[in-house]
Amino acid sequence: MTDWAITLKFIHRSRTVAGELRAQLARRRQALSGQLGRRWQGLTPRERKQLRLMLAVLLGAAVWLLFARPALATLRYWNDELPRLRAQSIALEAILADGAGPRVAPNARQVPPARRVAASLDQAGLTGSYRLSGGKPELVITFAQPVPAGPLLVWLLNAPVSLGLPVRQVLLERSDATAEGRIKATITLATHSPSGRNGT
């Protein structure tokens, strides 16, 4: 017997076995259907009603477990998560706004950086306590004598960015005990950026 004949015989036998299995399953399904039908017919109307109600409850429970419950859990999760995400978004926007700093008016860029800084320091109450040196690309502010720490730190946190002059370096030195609350400082500001946005 050739290999081809053996293969055909195997395929024929497999089909025969599959057909027999399908026939057995069909007979069993038919027998089970008939058995359930007879049992259903043997039930009283009240028992049939109770059985229908039980099946409806089971179906509802299955729908709840498979669909409604996960959906409600997802809604609850996002109801709890969205306020936190909104708070993070607001905080991030505030950080980005602080990082960007206030915009410098176009006419302010026409004023030399040293004049801008001097006017800002004088307005902060630090007149006569500083010395300016340098120009481009950096402007150095030196407070050789102790000055009040409060006004200087407030100016340092707000003025440089608003003037369009980012801070490059800050050196602070505490004064002696007899001048409590006063510090010496050397502040370096960038008067020119690679993008050309700052400085003049």
DSSP state of 108: G
Q: Which helix (H) or strand (E) holds 143?
A: strand 138-148
Q: How far is CA 86 from CA 6, 72, 90, 99, 121, in A?
A: 72, 21, 6, 20, 38
* Residue showing tokens 């409590």: 180
Q: Are 152 and 120 in contact (CB under 8 A)?
A: no
Count of all residues that appear for the chain in the document: 200
Phi, psi of 22 (to 5 degrees): -65, -40
pLDDT of residue 158: 84
pLDDT of residue 6: 66
Which neighbouring-strand residues pair with 173? 184
Q: How far is CA 147 from CA 17, 26, 103, 130, 195, in A?
A: 101, 100, 29, 9, 34
pLDDT of residue 144: 87
The domain limits of the chain are: 1-42, 54-100, 107-190
d(CA 54, CA 66): 18
pLDDT of residue 132: 93
Closest to 156 in 3D by CA, of 185, 129, 179, 192: 185
Instruction: Output the pTM of the full model.
Output: 0.44
* Residue showing tokens 């307005």: 123
pLDDT of residue 194: 46
The tens-digit pLDDT sequence of the chain (200 residues) is: 566 666 666 677 777 877 888 888 888 888 888 787 888 787 788 888 888 888 888 888 888 888 887 888 888 877 877 777 777 667 656 544 554 444 444 555 678 889 989 999 999 899 999 999 987 789 999 998 888 888 888 898 888 888 888 888 998 887 665 556 788 899 999 887 544 444 33
Burial string for 80-118 (b: 16+ CB within 10 Å, else e) reads eeeeeeeeeeeeeeeeeeeeeeeebeeeeeeeebbebbb
Given the candidates 3.30.1360, 1.10.3470, 3.30.70, 1.10.540, the CATH classification of the domain at 107-190 is 3.30.1360
pLDDT of residue 186: 93
